[in-house]
Amino acid sequence: MINLEIPRKYGALVSQAHQVAANIFRPNSRKYDRAEHSYPKELDMLASLLDGLNAAGGADGASAAGVRRDAVQDSGNRNGSNLATVLGVMELCWGDVGLLLSMPRQGLGNSAIASVANEEQLKRFEGRWAAMAITEPGCGSDSANIRTSAVLDGDHYVLNGEKIYVTSGERADLVVVWATLDRKLGRAAIKSFVVEKGTPGFELVRLEHKLGIRASDTAAFVLKDVRVPKENLLGSPEVDVQKGFAGVMQTFDNTRPLVAGMAVGLTRACLEETRKLIESTGLVIDYALPAHSQCSAVADYLRMEADYEAARLLTLQAAWMADNRQPNSLQASMAKAKAGRTCVAVALKCVELAGSLGYAEGEEGPGLLEKWARDAKILDIFEGTQQIQLLIVARRLLGKTSAELK
């Protein structure tokens, strides 16, 4: 059974991640919010340090790297890379979400590679920064409607299509592109391909100007007869209509808890600053009294804190289940839905409670609340919107297929 306390062996990891968040991310948060599309050079030294720790085997989950479902060696509980990575992400996003997403070699594409790549691919792509390209102009959260095509031609697949909202698309070395082998076969024909930057026909057409997470670049690509070696297909090339596209969807089972962890970390940052403001007025947050018997601001804070705890525990559960090789699609979507919605609601309420301090731009403390409110929204959107997560949860609970419940 899951233990709701942070495992003792991850104490140092959490502490180190918090130090990075407090001393690197938080002080540079406003700087790169204002300097959109500027690369945060401060992250290069940190990335090199994490590379060294990973090479030495001493950074299990200390970064936002991809995670893999490790084999369980015994029948007991296992706290592995999924839980470790989520704990690290929570701390780093307490500092800044956009800077976490800008970390070299720690992209969502790395999670995709770690989830489904074979051993040869893991070795070949080791140390490379990988973005992930799923969304298309006519295909948002419904990944089954992907139109980007992949046609086998000798020793290569030829890809044609368009991808938008690719996080770290400009800066990454690789892009994991989702494409279909045959649209008539539906979901089962969707596969993921690792495309090297600089491949002929793989064109970066623009960078998006965004509401939040401005430290992170978000790119749009056009693929025109892009030739990708057969060895760059992740997972099996066979189309199994019975299995559907469970192989590529396993990526989401690993990455959705990570996005939930991002939301949990940002929610905690908002709550901590708001608590300081409430207590600075002389109000007391009394956990021994019911919320309705305390002043309105305190009652609001208590409700937000309860939602935060629920989101945090759901996130830890989803990651722990992945470490213990338990199917976690339901729990991953529950965590993502709860954490994303909670983060947005809490951030906006904290701006409201802080008044002018929360609405105006500042370099630290409550002056970051308006930025966090803008950053929060993406956490309820990418890796599957709130509505899609609730649909997945409903399907799982009711035992319905995607065709039966749309």
Residues 6+ apart with CB under 8 A from 41: none
| DSSP state at residue 151 | E
Q: Are 213 and 31 in contact (CB under 8 A)?
A: no
Output the six-digit token pair for 401: 């297929």
Helices within 227-368 (DSSP H only): 246-280, 296-323, 329-354, 356-359
The verdict on whether 383 is a catalytic residue reads yes
3-state secondary structure (DSSP) of residue 172: coil
User: Rounded distance, CA 35 to CA 162, Å?
Assistant: 27
Cα 63 from chain centroid?
12
User: Contact at 8 Å (CB) between 59 and 53?
Assistant: yes
- Angle (CA) 255-225-207 rounded to 5° is 50
User: What is d(CA 334, CA 341) in angstroms, rounded to the nearest whole number?
Assistant: 11
Out of 162, 352, 383, 404, the active site residue is 383
3-state secondary structure of 227: strand
Tokens for 145? 């409607």
User: For helices 369-376 and 26-34, what crossing angle results, to 10°?
Assistant: 70
Asked if residue 272 lies in contact with residue 364, where contact means CB atoms within 8 angstroms, the answer is: no
Q: What are residue 68's phi and psi, to 5 degrees?
A: -135, 145
Active site residues: 383
